[in-house]
Amino acid sequence: MKNTAGRLKRATGAPASGIAADLNPSERSSESALAEPAAQSGISLSGVSKAYPVNGEMIPVLKNINLDIKQGEFISLVGPSGCGKTTTLRIIADLISPSSGTVLIGGQTPRQARLKRRYGMVFQSAVLYDWRTVIKNVMLPLEIMKLPKQEQQQRAEAMLDMVGLKNYAAHYPGQLSGGMQQRVGIARALALKPDILLMDEPFSALDEFTREKLHEDLLQIWQKTHKTIVFVTHNIAEAVYLSDRVCVMSPHPGRISNIIEIGLPRPRNPQAKTSATFSAYVNLVRSSFEGV
């Protein structure tokens, strides 16, 4: 595994402290409300492989994945369809177990991390509950946690506020646009106050305008909450724009072919996408795929 990070260096040191000064007072108060005890939330995969039996034969889907995700890092997994991005995410989420290798989430096994509700998940479709109002959707994980009703309500309201849907609490999902539904899905994932967000192509079903708006919102939420975000996408520009590092995966069998550190300064704004450095990173990612 070659690391090209040296070629394009990071421009800014501490991104989170830089943005804190720009926050208006109300945002700052919600920041303190959302601040969690900084549990160790790095994710480390070492020697992770996964194979599925197909017609009696074991087909390797992931082969020897080694990846260290730092606490508070925004990392993207990019790669063509079938390269095992979702599989990797599902292994981290304890939805499937690896055939071999170890996964540690802040020193815990995926199962321990799941039961401690340390991660929130967002899928390509919002997977909302049609029969629940928006706020009830966000409260769902809190009901499962058996939090006091009062706190459920307050937390859900704070999360809806964060994704800009404060005024839609009483609506049903069917009354919202696709982008708004996806925001509800994000609010629901955040409601658990997880250290980690696992997002599987969360914006790929959205139109360009909505997607760009959600990029900005997600970056803002990330700056406010310092979560570790693992973001799966097959959109290279999206990965470069959002991430600290982009992990390029290649198929047959799924493997990491490159990890690229994105040195674009933080906070980022859409302007950054027009810069020459941005295109250079996009090209670098594109040229990192193997055997496609």
Ligand X SMILES: Nc1ncnc2c1ncn2[C@@H]1O[C@H](COP(=O)(O)OP(=O)(O)OP(=O)(O)O)[C@@H](O)[C@H]1O
Count of residues interacting with other proteins (CB under 8 A) = 33
User: Which string of x and - marks every residue 91-130 that binds other proteins (by CB under 8 A)?
Assistant: --xxx------------------xx-x-xxx-xxxxxxxx
178 binds other proteins (CB under 8 A): yes
Question: What single-letter amino acid sits at 3?
Answer: N
Three-state DSSP class for 266?
coil
83 binds ligand X (CB under 6 A): yes
143 binds other proteins (CB under 8 A): yes
Give the list of residues 6+ apart from residue 29 with CB closer than 8 angstroms, or none.
Answer: none
Nearer residue to other proteins within complex by CB, 172 or 213:
172
Nearer residue to Mg ion within complex by CB, 76 or 152:
76
Residues 31-70 that bind ligand X (CB under 6 A): 52, 54, 61
Bridge partners for 48 per DSSP: 65
Helix 208-225 / helix 25-34 crossing angle, nearest 10 deg: 70
211 binds other proteins (CB under 8 A): no
User: Which string of x and - marks every residue 27-66 that binds Mg ion (by CB under 5 A)?
Assistant: ----------------------------------------
**What proportions of the chain, in percent to the nearest 5, are helix, strand and coil?**
40, 25, 35
Residue 136 CB burial class (10 angstroms; 0-12, 13-18, ≥19): middle
Nearer residue to Mg ion within complex by CB, 86 or 137:
86
CA 206 vs CA 18, 138, 180, 203: distances in Å:
30, 21, 10, 5
292 binds other proteins (CB under 8 A): no
Taking residue 225's Cβ as centre, other Cβ atoms within 10 Å add up to 21
87 binds Mg ion (CB under 5 A): no
Of the ranges 13-21, 30-38, 143-151, 273-281, which one interacts with other proteins (CB under 8 A)? 143-151
Three-state DSSP class for 175?
helix
Phi then psi dihedrals of residue 44, to 5 deg? -125, 125
Residues 205-234 that bind ligand X (CB under 6 A): 234
Of the ranges 78-86, 136-144, 222-230, 257-265, which one interacts with ligand X (CB under 6 A)? 78-86
Interaction partner, residue 51 (other proteins, Mg ion, ligand X, none; CB < 5-8 Å by kind): none
